A and B are shown apart, each in its own frame.
Chain A
Amino acid sequence: MSEYLLKAVDISKAFVGVQALDAVSLDIRPGEIHCLAGENGCGKSTLIKIISGVYQQDAGYIEFNGKRFTRITPLEAIAMGIQVIYQDFSIFPNLTVMENLAFNTELAAGRRLVNKRRMRTVAEEALSKINFDIELDRLVGSLSVAEKQMVAICRALMFDAKLIIMDEPTTALTRKEVRALFEIILKLKEQGIAILFVSHKLNEVFEISERFTIFRSGKHIVSGNTSELDDRKFSYYMTGREFDAEPFRPRYEGGECVLEVENLAIEGAFEDVSFRLCRGEILGITGLLDSGRSELALALFGLRRSTGGRILVKGKEIAMGSPRDAIEAGIGYVPEDRLSEGLFLPRSIADNIVISEIDRLTGALSVLDFRRYRQEVEDWVRALSIATPDPENACSTLSGGNQQRVVLAKWLACKPDVLVLNGPTVGVDIGSKHDIHRILQRLANEGMAVIIISDDLPEVLQNCSHLLIMKDGRIVARPDPGSTDENTVLSHML
């Protein structure tokens, strides 16, 4: 038995001229929890696919259990005990838990006929490996995300897995569910199964992994013990940049009050919410999922009708009936789920940026003024450093962080007085996250009033001049972000 379960050595891979991996190496010990981190597009997924046999490397080799391979087929990978749990879990929502669990084994055994009794036995055995208790006849589509993930893990365990690769496993999980997942990972470790945990979330890397490897732009940057890693180093390895985590200090002088909210309420969601917001300020609103923070955001933008209280913009009461009213009053909104609410993914980046201000770019007879349109798009792509070779490319070609910038650009193009952001950096990698924070601070210093609604505590503490904490639909505390800490805020939230 060699010291390492898996050794990937000097792996290179290019796709039509783009070097996705440039002589990267990765090694995993038996029973180890290893975290592979890196920003979007750094080559993490490519390496996973090479290890699991989906792609073939151009150069380099893989050693598994001391056996050396220059190429692995998917079947060999499975036979050796390598299992990948993809981000979408590769499940069938329309079929039962039993079938989801048993299909792979049945197919691997080359069976042509269905034997329900055998499939049930197989499925029960799979569940017993992590003592996961669920009805075998339930449709997987009716399960929660965490339960689906458990099904995927159980399925992976059926092939005498020695290495389980989890691709961004925590993306759609609640905190509680993440904790449950970590317990399972530890249990698997006890059984001698190694876990390769692919993530770009800092706290997860610290919490669960023993060792880590970081890639950047297809290159291996560093490997080591997680205990030797800290916040600053991690960010540096990931992005190659040093970040100064300086808290936000308002610099805009003499900001008039632009938004006043008085006793605002939506029955069943929140009540009695009052605050004032001036130019140059960034207001943070935080709280648990059911605290009413999201509903408040929707109410500020006219997406939900308030049932009590009033909203004043620059001293004038606004009847907030629809997003149009909000836009006319000078309020912009960056939604929580940018993919479904904020962007037209198949359309071009340029179209997405100008969509909200399209009326302003049309000349006589409502014909689009193409010169101004180009100029406008170019300005925003530069101002927010959106990384694209051509703004005419579809928005879906961008990474999460860049998509978020497009959403920002779209609203900034309308020149709002107040910008409301709901979870502005969810699913965005560190570099982009930092950039977005800098952009928001700059906007505030230029005189915009900003509201950040987020449960990312470091984010609100670092970037906000004021902070509201909500719990059960009420504001429970208004601490000063400069003089409080995460634990205090958390204790108010819970």
Chain B
Amino acid sequence: MKKKFRKLISRTEFYIALVFLALCLLIQLRSGQFFTPNNIVDILSALVVPGIFAVGAFMVIISGGFDVSFPALASLTSFVTTKVLLDAGWQGGVWLPFLIALVLGALLGAFNGLFIGYFELPAMIVTLGSSSFFKGLMQGALNSKQLAVIPVGMRSFGTSALFVAKNVESGLTSRMPTTFLVLAGVLLVTWFLLNRTMFGRGIYAIGGNPVSAHRAGFNVRRTRFLLLVYVGMISALAGLCRVCMMQQMHPTNMLGMEMNVIAGVVLGGTAIIGGAGTLFGCMLGTGLIVLVENSMILIGIPTVWKDAFVGALIVIGTGISAFQVNRARRAGLRNVRKGAAL
């Protein structure tokens, strides 16, 4: 029991959970509105898109790299999907948009994967480049503009609700969007992949030591390639969910989200050098960022201080996480040196 507790408090997730809880209490204290059904639904609804993005970013960081192209990838795929279906006058269900987005996401992901997996270039460099490339393709070649109207299937999917939460006191209602199921599905599939398949363990192994992974018999190149394809697919899902929920396609609306998403992932205890981190921590960190971003007014932080507050949280949070990782590494190094000296 004691040992379990010690193990618990040595984990970054534990501290993030504490901060999370403290923040919830603070919001409740300041506004009396946190623990109301509609507010919790609001936060969960705001978590959908960053949450799906975070899963992808998380997986790439686990494998020992950084993907910064997912907002551009999501924008491009959802723009093309919406535009093509509008032009074709698609009146059917939402399955076709999702199918198209998944295929496009896989293709663009394969583009990243080709360079990262088979040409063994650093993920950060490749995705910085592909991010510009995707943006350029969208804004230049495809001459993207805001699409104010989206196909009817996407529209009704975006406004449909699993349930409507009502705050009895204020009478305010919030929809739990059906898109939340997409996040849940992505989490489920990803958890299974990461923990129950050799492909997923291979991602962790590569993040720990790519040379050892190769020697152990993992197909390092193919694993990296498939990883990027998968990340492309779930990023495209996130983009489409955003369009459905917003009821319109805005080409630049998602750009720039990568920084806070990655910050959330790192905040959740994912090691920046790769190999270590849990899906639970990743969601916790992302949730914390979403919570903070959407509670500034409830807490009563003046708008001028909002950015400073979010920034400080990210610096402190990721600082703790990075410190933990460093401490572990230093401990390892000490062992080696101790050995070398005698």
Contacts and interface: CB of A to CB of B under 8 A. Distances in A.
B332 A141 contact: yes
Contact of A144 (B200, B335, B342): B335
Interface string A141-157: 11011100000000000
A95 B213 CA distance: 12
Interface in B16-33: none
A408 to B, nearest CB: 19
Nearest to B276: A94
Interface stretch (B67-75, B159-167, B174-182, B214-222): B214-222
A104 B205 contact: no
B335 A95 contact: no
A112 B226 CA distance: 14
A427 B336 CA distance: 14
Interface in B154-204: 195-201, 204
B208 A92 contact: yes
Contacts of A16: none
B138 to A, nearest CB: 37
A90 B209 contact: yes
A103 interface: yes
A423 interface: yes
In which size bucket is the chain B interface? 20 to 34
B96 interface: no
A144 B217 contact: no
B341 A336 contact: yes
A379 interface: no
A322 to B, nearest CB: 22
B198 A112 contact: yes
Given A91-B209, A99-B201, A177 B341 contact: no
Contacts of A271: none
B337 interface: yes
Contact of A94 (B198, B204, B216, B335): B204
Given A94-B275, A108-B217, A174-B338, A114 B195 contact: yes
Given A114-B195, A175-B342, A336-B341, A91 B336 contact: no
Contacts of B336: 145, 172
A94 B207 contact: yes
B198 A111 contact: yes
Contacts of B146: none
Contact of A173 (B196, B197, B337, B339): B339
A103 B208 contact: no
Contacts of A146: 339
A233 to B, nearest CB: 28
Contacts of A93: 208-209, 275, 332
A365 to B, nearest CB: 37
A172 B336 CA distance: 6
B328 interface: yes
A172 B217 contact: no
B335 A337 contact: no
Contact of B337 (A114, A175, A177, A337): A337
B208 A95 contact: yes
A148 B211 CA distance: 16
Interface of A: 86, 88-95, 99, 103-104, 106-108, 111-114, 141-142, 144-146, 171-175, 177, 288-289, 294, 336-337, 423, 426-427, 455
27 contacts: A92-B204, A92-B212, A92-B213, A94-B207, A94-B208, A94-B271, A94-B276, A95-B204, A95-B205, A95-B208, A95-B275, A99-B205, A103-B205, A103-B216, A107-B198, A107-B217, A107-B218, A112-B199, A114-B195, A114-B197, A142-B328, A142-B332, A144-B339, A145-B335, A172-B336, A426-B340, A455-B341
Closest 8 A-B residue pairs measured CB to CB? A94-B275, A107-B217, A92-B208, A94-B208, A90-B212, A172-B339, A174-B342, A289-B342
Given A88-B211, A94-B275, 7 more contacts: A92-B208, A93-B275, A108-B217, A112-B199, A113-B196, A142-B328, A455-B341
